[in-house]
């Protein structure tokens, strides 16, 4: 990866998978990276490996977002890039998914993006602007009857242009959307959780 001009990135859901790979790539490109997630161990391991900072945080919590941005401001002077990657899923059709499951998925996958953008906006604005990358999924372009909550949330993320086209600098940031392919292990993981697994 080429060296980047931007200096500080926050990657949510950064402990494993796409988030961790993104954090590694940004760090390799010369950026200071803050990775967030809900489990301390993978965050600490990754942060040590890339020379970054791991912060246990829930993207649905405004207080947690305030803490994350405070770390960025105190350690690195602000935020240049937000990679909104964190997301959860729930197995179930429109008839079987519970309302609590539906709301949890929308809150993490959709509200979490809004809260993140809102939290980093002042820091980005003070630094003359920044970049926001919302990680969606090809699920946002397709129909998945047994993943009603997840697919709906990804449709909303992939159509979040008006939220991302915010004026944080001299001109509006067009935002970026990244839509990775389907996770082939998703069905198995979701069924395990439905059966009481982890």
* Residues carrying an active site annotation: 150
Output DSSP code: residue 111. Answer: I
Radius of gyration of the chain (CA): 17
- Cα–Cα nearest to 69, from 23, 19, 126: 126
Determine contact, residues 149/110, Cβ cutoff 8 Å.
Answer: no
Tokens standing for 168? 């944080």
Q: CB under 8 Å to 197, separation ≥6 — which residues?
A: none
| Polymer length in residues for the chain | 198
Q: Is the Cα dihedral 162, 167, 169, 170 positive or negative?
A: positive
Q: Which residues pair with 81 in a beta bridge?
A: 9, 131
Angle in degrees, 0-180, between the axes of helices 112-126 and 62-76, rounded to the nearest 10: 30
Three-state DSSP at 102 gives helix
Q: Is the Cα dihedral 174, 180, 182, 187 positive or negative?
A: negative
């Amino acid at each position: 990866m080429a060296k980047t001009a931007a200096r500080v990135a926050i990657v949510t859901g950064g402990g494993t998978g796409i988030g961790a790979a993104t954090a590694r790539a940004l760090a390799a490109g010369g950026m200071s990276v803050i990775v967030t997630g809900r489990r301390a161990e993978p965050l600490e391991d990754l942060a040590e490996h890339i020379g970054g900072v791991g912060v246990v945080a829930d993207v649905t919590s405004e207080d947690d977002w305030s803490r994350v941005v405070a770390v960025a401001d105190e350690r690195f002077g602000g935020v240049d890039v937000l990679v909104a990657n964190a997301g959860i899923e729930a197995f179930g059709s429109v008839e079987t998914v519970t309302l609590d499951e539906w709301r949890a998925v929308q809150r993490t996958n959709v509200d979490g993006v809004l809260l993140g953008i809102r939290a980093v906006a002042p820091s980005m604005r003070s630094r003359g602007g920044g970049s926001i990358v919302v990680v969606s999924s090809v699920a946002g372009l397709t129909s998945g009857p047994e993943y009603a909550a997840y697919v709906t949330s990804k449709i909303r993320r992939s159509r979040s242009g008006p939220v991302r086209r915010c004026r944080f600098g001299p001109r509006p940031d067009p935002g970026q959307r990244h839509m990775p392919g389907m996770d082939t292990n998703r069905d198995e993981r979701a069924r395990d959780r439905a059966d009481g697994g982890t």
